[in-house]
Structure 1
Amino acid sequence: MTQDPYAALGLSKDATPDEIKKAYRKIARTNHPDLNPDDPAAEIRFKDAGRAYDLLKDPEQRRRFDAGEIDATGAEQAPRGYYRDEARRPENPYTQSRTSSGGNPFGEGVNADDFFANFARSRGGSGDGFGRGTSGDWPGQDTRYRLAVPFLDAARGSKTRITLPDGSALEVTIPEGARDGQTLRLRGKGEPGFGAGRPGDAFITLDVTPNPDFERDGDDILVTLPISIDEAILGGKVPVPTVTGAVNVSVPPGASSGQVLRLKGRGLKGRSGKGDQRVTLRIVSPPKIDDALKHFMEGWRADHAYNPRAGKERS
């Protein structure tokens, strides 16, 4: 991902939340991998835009990024001057000279044996301080991978396999409701250890591919549902997509564009249960206005005209 999420969306830092959303949706529509199967650059733009939007749509995360507290991936940033100040601290054992500490490279008051013993405990090993037993046992190294996951596979949960550099395959279970950037830990699936040393772990970071039909907001799913004029006026049952398949939703008579319907428990699995699906209605006129519809509306307007902007117009 580009280090600047604003650049990934083609925006400046003073962009409004609405501008951020519109820019993301435009890029997602034009660069979706399904529409550009032979264009790797489009897929990269698609993924970069998705990650950028996930960061900037959250006001608190956007504030922290703008303030330099987190980077473009959401990881914490060290305060400015942190490493310089740490290096200059007089009590820092690694900045003590050998002369001032009597030849002790760890500094005055720091016992080398204690240092290595603590290091061994932190590595889970014993014996010589490097996670190695007295017989020469070494733990295996951890390995890290990135895995692209389709939005619906992350939403529903799934199993997949990744091919490792040596040609072997590793099975990965994607938990239901997995998030973009989430890291999975597979214990014992890293590099093998030496001797009796335990194998390392494998860490899999997920790159969840955005879906043009669904948008995630916490554990809720957001969708836009186009409805016809007659469905808006008369109401009725209309099919709407969910992450587990289409269901019928009841559109109330007299529905308006922008009206939101809520489907309880149709969202994503979270720590406190499942979220909801929020359905925003959008009235779509017929592609062609024929004479019958035109004459009907003219007659209706003559006797029933109303102003939906009443009270909102400027005086």
Structure 2
Amino acid sequence: MSDPYSVLGVPRTASEDDIRKAFRKLAKKHHPDLNPGDKVAEAKFKEASQANDLLSDPEKRRRFDAGEIDATGQEVPPRGFYRDQAGGFGGKYERAGAHESFVDMGGIFSEMFGERRGFGAGGPGGGFDMSGMPVTYSLRVPFLVGARGGKQRVNLPDGKTLDIDIPEGTTDGQTLRLKGQGMPGSQGQPAGDAYVEIRVEPHAFFQTRDNDIHIELPVTLTEAALGAKVRAPTVGGPVMLNVPAGSNSGTSLRLKGRGLLDRRSGQRGDQYVKLKVVLPEQPDEKLKEFLESWDAGRAYDPRKEMEQFT
């Protein structure tokens, strides 16, 4: 992966707010939902998501800046690591604390599987009788898969294909346990477990706060002034939303029970819809003529309350 600062287009001195704004700009431009079938946009979105995942976490950012982890978040072995580890079991090094993604696990697993088969004196058939070791790795899932639940197909390092059940309401950073999908045991002992840390990709317009969803919904001047029923997207699919007459940009409406499922309590959050009045892209002469003759439009000052703070 490229340097995360370069991917987001921010300097190394960028603030958290600068990073957040840069990522949102790229997400709105390259999100797969807005560019269906565009593989280039999809790749750029994933790259931006990985860069944001690293730089938006203060500890990960500190470790990356210090050279302790690379741009993918993986540990960077200190100088002389493999030499210092030599002379262990069988005179060969073993990697400790491996943490890889599904995509990158093939080489290290092959090496570890090979070493484990020859573990202990005497090679296969001798040595210790051990259960398999656990492994830990991460999996990125689309926002809506985490919100709605579903299956995510992955290819394991040993060539097997596995459909992982992503529970509804899965949030970023949660860990799933895959029993028996870790390192194989020796002498017929059972395999260890795999622990998968879920990294939920951000969405183009859904934002989460705890179990609530927040979204900005564009409406026309007519819909805001006169009121209307409009389609509003939710994680469960579009619903009809009643826009009250006289609504302004910034008006917030609540859709009860349309947020994320809290897996511990079984309760759902709400969705909050902030309206944004949008004028036509092309000038409308009739609208212009009306506004020029609309005396009431000059009779109020929407900025009057700001004067007391200046």
Q: TM-score w.r.t. structure 2 length? A: 0.67
- Over the aligned positions, Cα root-mean-square deviation in angstroms equals 3.8
Alpha-carbon distance change, 233 to 53 in structure 1, aligned in 2, over 3 angstroms: farther
Shift of 1:13: 5.3
Q: 1:281 to 1:52 in 2, by over 3 A?
A: farther
Gaps of 5+ in 2: 74-125
- Measured against aligned partners, the alpha-carbon deviations of 1:122-144 in whole angstroms (never above 9, x if no partner) come to xxxxxxxxxxxx99532012233
Q: Is the 8 A contact 2:7 2:51 kept in 1?
A: no
| Cα distance change on mapping 1:193 and 1:31 into 2, 3 Å | same
Partner in structure 2 of residue 38 of structure 1: 40
In the alignment, does 2:293 pair up with 1:293?
no
Q: Provide the residue aligned with 1:309 in structure 2.
A: 303
Q: Does 1:284 align with 2:278?
A: yes
Asked whether the 8 Å contact 1:240–1:246 carries over to 2, the reply is: yes
AA matched with 1:42: K
Query: Does 2:220 correspond to 1:220?
Result: no
Matched, 1:241 2:233: yes
* Counterpart for residue 15 of structure 1: 15
Of 241, 260, 274, which aligns to 2:252?
Answer: 260
Aligned residues of 1:190 and 1:201 also touching (Cα < 8 A): yes
Q: Which amino acid aligns with 2:305?
A: G
Q: 1:198 to 1:175 in 2, by over 3 A?
A: same
Q: State the Cα distance separating 1:40 from its structure 2 match.
A: 7.4
Contact 1:8 1:52 in 2 (8 A): no
Amino acid in structure 1 at the alignment position of 2:40: D
Larger Cα-atom Rg: 1
Partner of 1:24, secondary structure, is helix
The CA deviation at 1:296 is 1.7
Q: Which letter maps to 1:46?
A: A
Residue 152 (structure 2) pairs with residue 160 (structure 1) = yes
Verify the 8 A CA contact 1:160 1:172 in the aligned structure 2: yes
Give deviations 1:247-289, integer Å, cap 9, x for gaps: 1111122111112111111111123321111111100012233
Cα distance in 2 for partners of 1:173, 1:51 equals 23
Please state whether the residue corresponding to 2:290 is helix, strand or coil.
helix
Distance in 1 of aligned mates of 2:136 and 2:297: 70
The residue that corresponds to 1:91 in the other structure is none
Distance, in Å, in 2 between the alignment partners of 1:53 and 1:215 is 18
Deviating more after overlay: 179-188 vs 220-229: 179-188
Task: Supply the distance in 2 between the matched residues of 1:296 and 1:200 (Cα, whole angstroms).
Answer: 73
Shift of 1:52: 5.0
Alignment-mate amino acid for residue 38 of structure 1: V
Worse overlay, 1-10 or 22-31: 1-10
Residue of structure 2 in register with 1:51 after alignment = 53
Stretch deviating more after TM superposition (243-252 or 285-294): 285-294
Q: CA deviation at 1:16?
A: 6.8
1:129 maps to none
Going from structure 1 to structure 2, the CA distance change for 1:208 and 1:286 (only over 3 Å counts) comes to same
| Counterpart Cα distance in 1 of 2:173 and 2:70 | 11
Farther off after superposition, 21-30 or 46-55: 46-55
**Structure 2: distance between partners of 1:171 and 1:277:** 30
Give the TM-score normalised by the residue count of structure 1. 0.66
1:148 deviates by 2.3
Unaligned runs of 5+ in 1: 76-133
Distance 1:243 1:208, change over 3 A: same
Tell me, in whole angstroms, the C-alpha distance in 2 between the residues paired with 1:234 and 1:5.
46
Q: Which runs of 4+ in 1 moved over 6 A?
A: 1-7
How far apart in 2 are the matches of 1:303 and 1:284? 18
Q: Structure 2 matches for 1:1-315, cutoff 5 A?
A: 8=8, 10=10, 15=15, 17=17, 19-33=18-32, 35=35, 36-38=38-40, 42-51=44-53, 55=57, 137-270=129-262, 271-272=264-265, 273-301=267-295, 305-313=299-307
Say if 1:52 and 1:72, in contact at 8 Å, map to a contact too: no
Pair 1:175–1:11, CA change in 2 (3 A):
farther
